[in-house]
Amino acid sequence: MFMKRPQYRRFDYTPRFYKPELDEEERRKRKLGFRNARSTTRRKTQSPLMWLILIIILIFILIKFGRF
């Protein structure tokens, strides 16, 4: 409301070098369903903050039930 909304940048990019044979190869790979191995084997990393919260909850439960 008080802040100015960001304007999106628009680019007019024309590539300097164009190889039609590579373009056709990429189109064929997409059609067959090949993907980059890195994108398929991505796994979620857990946040250290989540571990900290779990440890604090565990300590609270142990104190509450008199284990310490």
**Three-state SS for 6?**
coil
Per-residue model confidence as pLDDT tens digits over 16-26: 777 777 788 88
Which ranges of 6-67 does DSSP label H, i.e. alpha helix?
Answer: 20-32, 37-40, 48-64
Tens digit of pLDDT per residue, the chain (68 long)?
Answer: 577 887 888 888 777 777 777 788 888 888 887 666 565 555 566 788 888 999 999 999 998 888 65
d(CA 19, CA 54): 54
User: pTM, whole model, 2 decimals?
Assistant: 0.33
Beta strands (DSSP E) in the chain are none
| pLDDT for res 10 | 82
How many other CB atoms sit within 10 Å of the CB of residue 40? 7
d(CA 56, CA 12): 52
